[in-house]
Amino acid sequence: MNNVNKYLKIARDAVIKPPSGNIEEKIINRISNIDNKDESLLDEKFLDFFKKSNSRLYQTAEKIRNNPGFFAGIIITVIFIISFFVLITKKLLDEGEKSADELKLSSPENKTNNN
Protein backbone atom coordinates (compact mmCIF):
# COMPACT_ATOMS: atom_id res chain seq x y z
CA MET A 1 0.00 0.00 0.00
CA ASN A 2 2.98 2.29 0.62
CA ASN A 3 3.77 2.41 -3.08
CA VAL A 4 0.18 3.31 -3.94
CA ASN A 5 0.32 6.15 -1.42
CA LYS A 6 3.59 7.34 -2.95
CA TYR A 7 2.09 7.37 -6.46
CA LEU A 8 -1.04 9.11 -5.22
CA LYS A 9 1.17 11.79 -3.69
CA ILE A 10 2.95 12.35 -7.00
CA ALA A 11 -0.43 12.30 -8.77
CA ARG A 12 -1.28 15.61 -7.08
CA ASP A 13 1.09 17.29 -9.55
CA ALA A 14 -0.64 15.73 -12.54
CA VAL A 15 -2.73 17.86 -14.87
CA ILE A 16 -4.99 16.81 -17.71
CA LYS A 17 -4.51 18.41 -21.10
CA PRO A 18 -7.94 19.44 -22.36
CA PRO A 19 -8.61 17.73 -25.70
CA SER A 20 -10.32 20.75 -27.20
CA GLY A 21 -7.29 23.03 -26.98
CA ASN A 22 -6.53 26.04 -24.82
CA ILE A 23 -8.78 26.07 -21.77
CA GLU A 24 -7.25 29.33 -20.47
CA GLU A 25 -8.27 31.31 -23.53
CA LYS A 26 -11.78 29.88 -23.40
CA ILE A 27 -12.15 30.93 -19.76
CA ILE A 28 -10.73 34.39 -20.48
CA ASN A 29 -13.16 34.78 -23.40
CA ARG A 30 -16.01 33.68 -21.18
CA ILE A 31 -15.07 36.24 -18.54
CA SER A 32 -14.88 38.98 -21.16
CA ASN A 33 -18.48 38.23 -22.05
CA ILE A 34 -19.99 38.20 -18.58
CA ASP A 35 -23.46 39.73 -18.45
CA ASN A 36 -26.20 40.21 -15.88
CA LYS A 37 -27.49 36.67 -16.39
CA ASP A 38 -24.26 35.31 -14.92
CA GLU A 39 -25.15 36.84 -11.56
CA SER A 40 -27.54 33.92 -11.20
CA LEU A 41 -24.50 31.65 -10.79
CA LEU A 42 -24.03 33.25 -7.39
CA ASP A 43 -26.94 31.28 -6.02
CA GLU A 44 -27.83 30.51 -2.42
CA LYS A 45 -25.45 27.55 -2.27
CA PHE A 46 -22.55 29.62 -3.52
CA LEU A 47 -23.33 32.49 -1.15
CA ASP A 48 -23.42 30.04 1.75
CA PHE A 49 -20.02 28.65 0.72
CA PHE A 50 -18.68 32.19 0.26
CA LYS A 51 -19.91 33.29 3.68
CA LYS A 52 -18.35 30.26 5.35
CA SER A 53 -15.04 30.66 3.54
CA ASN A 54 -14.89 34.27 4.76
CA SER A 55 -15.72 33.47 8.37
CA ARG A 56 -12.74 33.10 10.69
CA LEU A 57 -14.94 31.46 13.31
CA TYR A 58 -16.21 28.87 10.83
CA GLN A 59 -12.69 28.17 9.52
CA THR A 60 -11.38 27.63 13.06
CA ALA A 61 -14.33 25.41 13.95
CA GLU A 62 -13.68 23.36 10.79
CA LYS A 63 -10.02 22.95 11.70
CA ILE A 64 -11.00 21.69 15.14
CA ARG A 65 -13.65 19.35 13.71
CA ASN A 66 -11.16 17.94 11.21
CA ASN A 67 -8.47 17.32 13.84
CA PRO A 68 -10.30 16.79 17.15
CA GLY A 69 -7.51 14.62 18.58
CA PHE A 70 -4.86 17.22 17.85
CA PHE A 71 -6.83 20.03 19.48
CA ALA A 72 -7.75 17.86 22.48
CA GLY A 73 -4.03 17.17 22.85
CA ILE A 74 -3.24 20.89 22.78
CA ILE A 75 -5.93 21.66 25.39
CA ILE A 76 -4.71 18.85 27.68
CA THR A 77 -1.11 20.08 27.32
CA VAL A 78 -2.12 23.68 28.11
CA ILE A 79 -4.12 22.54 31.17
CA PHE A 80 -1.16 20.43 32.30
CA ILE A 81 1.30 23.33 31.91
CA ILE A 82 -1.02 25.76 33.75
CA SER A 83 -1.59 23.24 36.57
CA PHE A 84 2.16 22.67 36.81
CA PHE A 85 2.88 26.39 37.15
CA VAL A 86 0.07 26.88 39.66
CA LEU A 87 1.46 24.01 41.72
CA ILE A 88 5.03 25.32 41.55
CA THR A 89 3.91 28.86 42.46
CA LYS A 90 1.86 27.56 45.37
CA LYS A 91 4.77 25.49 46.61
CA LEU A 92 7.17 28.43 46.35
CA LEU A 93 4.74 30.69 48.22
CA ASP A 94 4.26 28.07 50.95
CA GLU A 95 8.01 27.65 51.30
CA GLY A 96 8.43 31.42 51.36
CA GLU A 97 5.88 31.72 54.19
CA LYS A 98 7.48 28.83 56.06
CA SER A 99 10.97 30.31 55.86
CA ALA A 100 9.61 33.71 56.90
CA ASP A 101 8.05 32.09 59.97
CA GLU A 102 11.29 30.29 60.72
CA LEU A 103 13.21 33.54 60.33
CA LYS A 104 10.84 35.24 62.74
CA LEU A 105 11.29 32.47 65.28
CA SER A 106 15.07 32.48 65.01
CA SER A 107 15.46 36.29 65.12
CA PRO A 108 17.35 37.76 68.23
CA GLU A 109 14.24 39.68 69.21
CA ASN A 110 12.32 36.46 69.57
CA LYS A 111 15.23 34.87 71.43
CA THR A 112 15.35 37.68 74.06
CA ASN A 113 11.60 37.54 74.42
CA ASN A 114 11.85 33.82 75.00
CA ASN A 115 14.57 34.32 77.60
The residues of the shown chain that bind other proteins, judged by CB under 8 A, are 1, 3-8, 10-20, 23-24, 26-28, 30-31, 34, 38-39, 41-42, 45-46, 49-50, 53-56, 59, 62, 65-67
Task: List phi, psi (to 5°) of 5.
Answer: -60, -40
Q: Could you tell me the smallest distance in angstroms from the CB atom of residue 67 to other proteins?
A: 8
**Using alpha carbons only, what angle is made at residue 30 by residues 27 and 32, rounded to the nearest 5 degrees?**
110
Q: Could you tell me the smallest distance in angstroms from the CB atom of residue 62 to other proteins?
A: 8
Q: Could you tell me the smallest distance in angstroms from the CB atom of residue 72 to other proteins?
A: 15
Q: Which is nearer to other proteins, 10 or 109 (CB)?
A: 10
Q: Which is nearer to other proteins, 63 or 90 (CB)?
A: 63
Q: Calculate the CA dihedral of residues 33, 35, 39, 41 and round it to 10 degrees.
A: -40
| Separation between Cα atoms, residue 102 and residue 6, nearest integer Å | 68
Q: Which is nearer to other proteins, 73 or 96 (CB)?
A: 73
Q: Which is nearer to other proteins, 28 or 87 (CB)?
A: 28
Q: Could you tell me the smallest distance in angstroms from the CB atom of residue 53 to other proteins?
A: 6
| Separation between Cα atoms, residue 7 and residue 35, nearest integer Å | 43
| Separation between Cα atoms, residue 18 and residue 60, nearest integer Å | 37
